[in-house]
């Protein structure tokens, strides 16, 4: 729910300034500044909402530096709804630069986003992107974020169960996942169909609204939410593969949203054969999966089904990777500092795969892995499961 100014003041006033959230906050850990802590940000929000302090560039800078990781919420004894507060602060501050505005526009115009992803794919296959990253150093990091792109996927509205039917689910595509990681969506359909579920993909679905919300565009975020509420009319679970999208839909709709791993661990696997995978997999825990979807344990349970797979949770899980939606574009310095910590942890052991349930984290970590030339493949946990069930990507 979007808060009014009065509601913002009331919610902020529920903070008793105990400071229990401070050790959970990655930006406070990095800067040591109270204004970059949850407690400090809440006090600033309250002061600006009450017009005690001006809504100036310093206020904006401290709000924009927040990752919206929501670690602070989980530590708060008073249950202060920090996520709702920071969303409202973003409406007041309205973050706008050409890169994030472009992302927001693309997210709202899926045809152009798909066209953009295919242009990038052409740039990858012809070597133009690699040349650009060498000749224009400033672009190198952004180009490294782009995963290896595949051909465009045309989604069917219905994928029938491949065995005795057990139920129906809706699949939420997500604008970025659909354009940049269709393989995860196809893998999810494969697993769901083979477990006996009809998968429905309503064409009227839209972006979850997360990018617009991060830019402080409340009207656009609301339009996305309304469109999705209309698109998913049935009571079937709305299964999401990107925890960032799932979190936005869970917060702002009444739809029965469920993370794919959480849905899958509740299914009957008794007659499903999974081939062994002799591999060491690092498991990255997205903040939105842990703090909002509350489904982090489901991923561990799901991957534990694969014989011989050795799973190691990536250490330092309370620290965001710095992806955080458009944060990696808008706040590159902090995003890189947070990424550097993750890369150090990844380099301490030898892994064959890195599993993560969020496309934003996959792009951010992928950029670090590509820049470090590490031989490490990033996969969604469901893609690992699907491959062990015989899934072969149709994409090239
Ligand atoms: S959402 Fe994350 S970065 Fe923002 S104040 Fe809370 S813990 Fe800190
Ligand atoms: S833990 Fe909750 S009440 Fe305590 S300072 Fe943080 S937000 Fe305020």
Indicate if the pLDDT at residue 97 is higher than 70: no
Q: What ligand is nearest to the CA atom of residue 334?
A: 1
List, edge to edge, every strand of the sheet that includes 377-379: 310-313, 280-283, 353-355, 377-379
Indicate if the pLDDT at residue 111 is higher than 60: yes
Pick the closest to residue 277 from 383, 360, 177, 193 (CA basis).
Answer: 383
pLDDT for res 94: 76
Nearest CA to ligand 1 atom 7: 25
Q: With left for phi above 0 and alpha for psi between -120 and 50, is residue 294 left, alpha or beta? A: left
- pLDDT band at 161; cut points 50, 70, 90: very high
* Longest Cα–Cα distance in the chain: 64
Task: For residue range 60-70, list pLDDT tens digits in order.
Answer: 999 999 999 99
- pLDDT band at 364; cut points 50, 70, 90: very high
Which residues touch 61 (CB under 8 Å, ≥6 apart)? none
The C-alpha angle 279, 303, 316, rounded to 5 degrees, equals 80
Task: For residue range 169-184, list pLDDT tens digits in order.
Answer: 999 999 989 988 999 9
Q: Which fold has domain 280-388?
A: Rossmann fold (3.40.50)
Task: For residue range 204-259, list pLDDT tens digits in order.
Answer: 999 999 988 988 888 889 999 999 999 998 799 999 999 999 999 999 999 999 99
The values of phi and psi at residue 169, to 5°, are -135, 150
Element of type H or E holding 379: strand 377-379
Contact 243, 357 (CB under 8 A): yes
Cα(22) to centroid(ligand 1), Å:
9
* Mean pLDDT score, 4-30: 95
Indicate if the pLDDT at residue 396 is higher than 60: no
Contact 289, 259 (CB under 8 A): yes
Q: What ligand is nearest to the CA atom of residue 36?
A: 1
pLDDT for res 150: 72
Which residues touch 360 (CB under 8 Å, ≥6 apart)? 176, 242, 244, 286, 323, 324, 325, 328
- Return the best residue to mutate from 21, 41, 43 for the ligand 2 pocket (most ligand atoms within 8 A of CB): 21
How far apart are the C-alpha atoms of 63 and 234, rounded to whole Å? Answer: 38
How far apart are the C-alpha atoms of 185 and 383, rounded to whole Å? Answer: 9
pLDDT for res 33: 96
Nearest CA to ligand 1 atom 8: 25
pLDDT for res 114: 76
Indicate if the pLDDT at residue 1 is higher than 70: no
Q: Find tokens 């354009």 and name the residue.
A: 179
- CATH architecture of the domain 5-93 equals Orthogonal Bundle (1.10)
Residue-averaged pLDDT of the chain: 91
Indicate if the pLDDT at residue 337 is higher than 80: yes
Cα(114) to centroid(ligand 1), Å:
32
Indicate if the pLDDT at residue 316 is higher than 90: no
pLDDT for res 99: 65
Nearest CA to ligand 2 atom 4: 18
Contact 306, 277 (CB under 8 A): yes
Residue extents of the structural domains in the chain: 5-93, 98-144, 158-265, 280-388
The values of phi and psi at residue 214, to 5°, are -65, -30
Q: What is the pTM of this model?
A: 0.90
Contact 396, 150 (CB under 8 A): yes
């Amino acid at each position: 729910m979007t808060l009014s100014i009065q509601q913002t003041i009331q919610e902020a006033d529920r903070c008793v300034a105990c400071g229990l959230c401070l050790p959970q906050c990655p930006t406070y850990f990095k800067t040591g500044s109270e204004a970059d802590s949850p407690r400090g940000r809440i006090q600033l929000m309250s002061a600006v909402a009450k017009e005690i302090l001006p809504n100036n560039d310093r206020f904006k800078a401290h709000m924009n530096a927040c990752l919206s990781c929501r670690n602070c919420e989980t530590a708060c004894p008073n249950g202060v709804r920090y996520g709702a507060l920071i969303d409202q602060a973003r409406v007041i501050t309205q973050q706008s630069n050409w890169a994030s505005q472009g992302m927001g526009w693309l997210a709202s115009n899926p045809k152009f986003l798909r066209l953009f992803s295919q242009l990038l794919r052409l740039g990858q296959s012809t070597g133009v992107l690699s040349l650009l990253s060498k000749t224009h150093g400033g672009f190198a990091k952004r180009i490294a974020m782009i995963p290896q792109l595949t051909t465009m996927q045309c989604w069917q509205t219905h994928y029938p169960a491949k065995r005795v039917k057990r139920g129906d689910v809706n699949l939420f595509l997500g604008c970025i996942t659909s354009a940049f990681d269709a393989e995860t969506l196809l893998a999810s359909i494969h697993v769901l169909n083979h477990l006996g579920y009809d998968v429905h993909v309503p064409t009227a679905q839209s972006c979850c609204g997360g990018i617009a919300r991060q830019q402080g565009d409340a009207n656009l975020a609301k339009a996305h939410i309304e469109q999705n509420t209309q698109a998913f009319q049935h009571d079937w679970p709305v299964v999401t593969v990107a925890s960032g999208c799932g979190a936005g839909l869970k917060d702002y709709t009444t739809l029965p949203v469920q993370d794919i791993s959480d849905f899958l661990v509740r299914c009957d696997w008794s007659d499903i054969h999974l081939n062994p995978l002799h591999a060491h997999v690092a498991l990255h825990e997205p903040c939105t999966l842990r703090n909002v979807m509350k489904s982090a344990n489901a991923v561990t349970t799901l991957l534990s089904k694969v014989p011989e797979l050795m799973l190691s949770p990536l250490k330092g899980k309370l620290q965001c990777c710095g992806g955080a939606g458009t944060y990696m574009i808008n706040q590159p310095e902090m995003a890189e500092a947070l990424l550097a910590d993750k890369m150090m942890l990844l380099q301490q052991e030898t892994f064959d795969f890195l599993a993560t349930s969020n496309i934003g984290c996959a792009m951010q970590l992928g950029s670090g892995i590509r820049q470090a030339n590490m031989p490490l493949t990033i996969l969604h946990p469901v893609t690992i499961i699907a491959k062990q069930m015989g899934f072969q990507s149709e994409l090239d």
